[in-house]
């Protein structure tokens, strides 16, 4: 089951990269909010957890961070390595398994739009807390559970494996992810040793009003994603 959640990214890697580089939700909605929560990363060692095609890794390097990263999709790892070269160490690893990094080995963990593919978020946050130094931070973005509930129906308090269909130029791809209440996501983080410093529900930027007016109108009514900045307790 867990393998299947990552497999679509191997099949649509190049298309996803083209979509994410300048797409409404990835480039102009998620990325600015997450980078703002990360703050100044110059001189910090940042773990890009679920790095995808390396778009965040490239930006973090440009901002002066030392970057290590991983993804479960080998195709995504290939794209990330091609993008950043030898400036960052990118490997194949999984969010739903013990991370291949020592304790207290990074200053910041970044996990952008990937935690919803993990069945046991408590275990993943516990690994983030293990590898980040005391007093360090984690920034995590994900699909907004309220919006997913509105789209999918049922009880908001259910924990459910959902399916979306993404229409890309070469065809349609089914992508599955876990939906659970916001309180469960927050509890997974705080039970693992983090303190929630900020919770952000991004607002659509003006560029979306001009280029993607329909999506802008949707996001003016309800949030699409949310992002957390977490601080690691000793």
Distance, C-alpha 32 to centroid of its chain: 13
Pairing mode of beta strands 89-92, 66-71: parallel
Q: How far apart are CA 172 and CA 33, in angstroms?
A: 28
Cβ neighbours of residue 20 closer than 8 Å, sequence gap 6 or more? 26, 27, 52, 53, 55
Residue 148 — φ and ψ, nearest 5°?
-60, -40
What pLDDT does 11 receive? 87
pLDDT digits (tens, 9 = 90+) for 127-181: 999 999 999 999 999 999 999 999 999 999 999 999 999 888 778 889 999 999 9
Name which of 139, 92, 90, 133 is nearest 112 in CA terms.
139
pTM of the model: 0.95
How many Cβ atoms from other residues are within 10 Å of residue 47's Cβ?
23
Could you write out the DSSP letters of every residue in 127-174? Answer: HHHHHEEEEEEEEEEEE-HHHHHHHH-S-TT--EEEEEEEEETTEEEE
What pLDDT does 1 receive? 39
What pLDDT does 79 receive? 97
Q: How far apart are CA 207 and CA 138, in angstroms?
A: 28
Domain range annotation of the chain: 2-232
Question: Which stretches of the chain drop beneath a pLDDT of 70?
Answer: 1-3
- The residue assigned the tokens 């469960």 is 184
Q: How far apart are CA 146 and CA 53, in angstroms?
A: 28
CATH number of 2-232: 3.40.50.150
173-204 b/e (C-beta count within 10 Å ≥ 16 → b): bebbbbbbbeeebeebbeebbbeeeeebebeb
Q: How far apart are CA 61 and CA 87, in angstroms?
A: 8
């Amino acid at each position: 089951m867990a393998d299947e959640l990552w497999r679509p990214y191997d099949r649509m890697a190049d298309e996803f990269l083209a979509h994410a580089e300048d797409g409404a939700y990835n480039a102009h909605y998620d990325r600015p909010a997450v980078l703002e929560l990360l703050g100044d990363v110059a001189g910090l060692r940042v773990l890009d957890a679920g790095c995808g095609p390396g778009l965040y890794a490239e930006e973090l390097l440009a901002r002066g961070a030392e970057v290590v990263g991983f993804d479960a999709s080998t195709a995504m790892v290939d794209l990330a390595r091609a993008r950043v070269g030898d400036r960052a160490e990118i490997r194949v690893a999984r969010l739903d398994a013990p991370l291949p990094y020592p304790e207290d080995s990074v200053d910041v963990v970044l996990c952008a739009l990937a935690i919803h593919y993990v069945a046991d978020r408590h275990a993943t946050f516990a690994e983030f807390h293990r590898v980040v130094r005391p007093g360090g931070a984690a920034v995590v973005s994900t699909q907004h559970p309220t919006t997913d509930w509105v789209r999918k129906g049922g009880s908001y308090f259910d924990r459910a494996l959902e399916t979306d269909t993404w229409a890309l130029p070469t065809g349609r791809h089914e992508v599955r992810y876990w939906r659970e209440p916001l309180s469960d996501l927050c509890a997974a983080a705080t039970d693992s040793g983090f303190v929630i410093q900020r919770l952000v529900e991004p607002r659509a930027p003006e560029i979306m009003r001009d280029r993607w007016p329909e999506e802008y109108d949707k996001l003016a009514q309800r949030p699409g994603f949310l992002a957390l900045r977490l601080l690691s307790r000793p």
